[in-house]
Amino acid sequence: MIPSFIHSSPLKKAMNHTSAPAPAWQEAVFKVLKEGGVRQIAYVPDAGHSHAIRSAIADPEIEDVVLTTEEEGVALVSGAWLGGQRAVLLMQSSGVGNCVNMFSLLQAADFPFFTLVTMRGEYAEFNGWQGPMGKATQAALELMGIHVLRASHPDEVEEIVSAGFDAAFEGGDKVAVLLGQSLIGRKKWESK
Amino acid sequence: MMSHNISQPRVDRREFVAQLIAKTPDALIVTGLGSAAYDVFASGDRDRNYYLWGAMGGASSMGLGLALAQPDKPVVVITGDGEQLMGIGSLATIAAKQPKNLTVVVLDNGHFGETGMQRSHSSLGTDLVAVAKGFGISDAFAIGSLEGCQDVARRINARDGTAFAQVFIDADEPQRALPPRDGPFIKNRFRAALGLKPF
């Protein structure tokens, strides 16, 4: 019999959290990044990126870089390329709005760029505050000259992420893959 | 109006930057836009200089990505107080990584020099060394003399810890020395100097 206080300890919760199996599509995302030789993964966290973030932290060949705001990541991945490494930016749709002027760097110096954007504000969204930026995310990226791909179904994630990745690092394009909110599913909201 | 730095000893920006680069010949340098870029260019163009002409607030983050990618080379960010303030959170991001080969040098005249010398936060109460230390860069210090240049250069060449140097400079405007604005050119030149091939 395990005393009940163990169940409620933060440590136990953290362990349970990290040991939960990741959805297959999230594993496919990290597989593309790892097999593509990514050496730096910069991120502002989102639940949809949790497997890639955990995997980056655990991987001695990959530098995980937690950002205070997403535009740092645009500059950081460009600096990585300047130094000969492939780096990617993980963020959620709200972060795209934070990046807009910094995206100038990608065009002005013609840096390859690859970002994965988990979407909010588009599917069973409980929090209306996510709506304005979520609905403007694709247009904001395209206004700044970034090619946008989208994956909405788990079985297409690996192919689309891989296609965008190759366009960026083999073709020099600037690419965002939007990971649809339906991939994450409905967020369970409970009043405390 | 408070101006707590008014009596602070200050150094000539061009002279400081020229001496710093002369003492750190192997450094990979990223500059913030504006006067910091002019200072670096005025001391002599180098293939291993990356001049920003925009992306305000991004110089330190770019330096971090470069430092992580090139751990065996000293990386120096040379920027101004306004540029660093716009990307101030990047100091927290740098502190979280603690790259041993990264030094951030902020040329601080307490003003936005490029836009008409409006006062910046660093002459209105913000202490950038305290900010850097608070974010977790313990080797953060201020200097206001040419003698201090040697302290900065030693840290750059040693590559034994992240450092942050606030350099108090005169709020003057030396003649502009304009580096190339061709972004792909300076990117490709920089990469070629590191032996990197086109994709």
Q: What strands lie across the sheet with B28-31, from one edge to the other?
A: B49-51, B28-31, B75-80, B102-108, B163-168, B140-143
Check: CB of residue A178 under 8 Å from CB of residue A138: yes
Give the global pTM: 0.93
Radius of gyration, CA atoms only, chain B: 15
Q: How far is CA A99 from the centre of its chain?
A: 14
* pLDDT grade for A11, boundaries at 50, 70 and 90: very low
CB distance A79–B70 less than 8 Å? no
Chain B residue at shortest CA distance from A71: B58
The DSSP element (H or E) to which B106 belongs, if any, is strand B102-108
The pLDDT confidence band at residue A20, using thresholds 50, 70 and 90, is confident
- Pseudo-torsion of CA B166, B172, B176, B178, nearest 10°? 10
**Has residue B2 got a pLDDT over 90?**
no
Average pLDDT, chain A: 90
* Cβ–Cβ contact B42 with A under 8 A: no
Q: What is the DSSP letter of B53?
A: S
In angstroms, the Cα distances linking A49 to A75, A91, A139, B148 are 20, 8, 22, 44
- Nearest residue of chain A to residue B182 (CA atoms): A109
The confidence band for A5, taking pLDDT boundaries of 50, 70 and 90, is: very low
Q: Return residues 54-93 of A near B (CB < 8 Å).
A: 63, 65-69, 71-85, 87
**Digit-coded pLDDT (tens) for A78-100:** 999 999 999 999 999 999 999 99
Using CA atoms, how far residue A75 sits from A55, A78, A111, A176, B13, in Å, is 23, 5, 10, 15, 25
DSSP A103: G
Judged by DSSP in three states, B116 sits in coil
Structure tokens at A189: 């909201």
B68 CB neighbours in chain A (<8 A) are 39-40, 63, 65, 80, 83, 85
Q: Give the nearest partner residue to A82 out of B50, B96, B97, using CB atoms.
A: B50
Could you report the predicted ipTM of this complex, rounded to two decimals?
0.96
pLDDT digit string, tens, across residues A103-153: 999 999 999 999 999 999 998 898 999 999 999 999 999 999 999 999 999
Q: Is the pLDDT of residue A174 over 80?
A: yes
Closest residue to B62, CB basis, from A79, A104, A170: A79
Q: Tell me how far CA of residue A10 lies from CA of A5, A13, A15, in angstroms.
A: 10, 5, 9
Helix (H) or strand (E) holding B184: helix B183-193
Phi and psi at B52, nearest 5°, equal -90, 140
Among A53, A69, A82, A165, most B C-beta atoms within 10 A, so best to mutate, is: A82
Burial of B83 (0-12, 13-18, 19+ CB in 10 A): buried
Q: What angle do CA A104, A109, A111 make, to 5 degrees?
A: 90
Contact between B167 and B106 (Cβ < 8 Å): yes
A111–B61 C-beta distance less than 8 A = no
Mean pLDDT value of segment B47-69: 98
Residues 82-141 of B with CB under 8 A from A: 87, 89-90, 92-93, 96-97
Q: Any residues with CB less than 8 A from the CB of B10 and at least 6 apart, and which?
A: B109, B144, B168, B169, B170
| pLDDT at residue A8 greater than cutoff 60 | no
At A192 the pLDDT is: 61
